[in-house]
Amino acid sequence: MSILTCPNCGAKNRVDPTKARQTTPVCGRCHEPLPPDAVGPSGAVDASRPVELTDATFAAFVQTAPVPVLVDCWAGWCGPCRMLAPTIDQLAAESGGRYLVAKLDTDANQRTAGALGISALPTLLIFKGGRVVDKVEGIAPKPVLAARLAAVR
């Protein structure tokens, strides 16, 4: 058994990793599905891959994260967003648990995008303790993004 924090309500959930790979686990408190792409082999958040956030999961995820969170605000029609996607995946793979990487589809999650004041794509936000501490609009090279993440720790 592993403990997985619900990104929606913050409740701690015991998850059997073998069952989590077969079915989508749900939170025992709010009954929202726990993000399947966030459940790694141990049942914990897999820091080596970006976590897909939604309007329902965004706030709890960034507020309860024990490390800084890089959020990639993107849209499927955005060419620069698609160009930046491999860099975002590489940053997640290289995070080593020092930070988490998440993605927010602004078309599918307009409430959160509006609350964040997203006016350009791609927009990268770095959260620490649930608050935005840095913002990058447009494409930035991986070394620049890595340096900005390192400065937040």
User: Pairing state of beta strands 100-105 and 51-53?
Assistant: parallel
**Cα–Cα distance for residue pair 91/84, rounded to 1 Å:** 11
Q: Are residues 33 and 94 in the same domain?
A: no
Q: Are residues 51 and 22 in the same domain?
A: no
Give pLDDT tens digits along the chain (153 positions): 566 767 667 677 777 766 655 567 788 888 877 665 454 444 456 778 899 999 999 998 998 888 999 999 999 999 999 999 999 999 999 988 889 999 999 999 999 999 999 999 999 999 999 999 999 999 999 999 999 999 997
- Residue 100: which CATH number? 3.40.30.10
Q: Are residues 149 and 101 in the same domain?
A: yes
Helical axes 142-152 vs 79-93, angle rounded to 10°: 50
Q: What is the pTM of this model?
A: 0.74
27 is known as an active-site residue: no
Domain count, the chain: 2
**Cα–Cα distance for residue pair 15/37, rounded to 1 Å:** 14
81 is known as an active-site residue: yes
User: What SS3 class is residue 28?
Assistant: coil
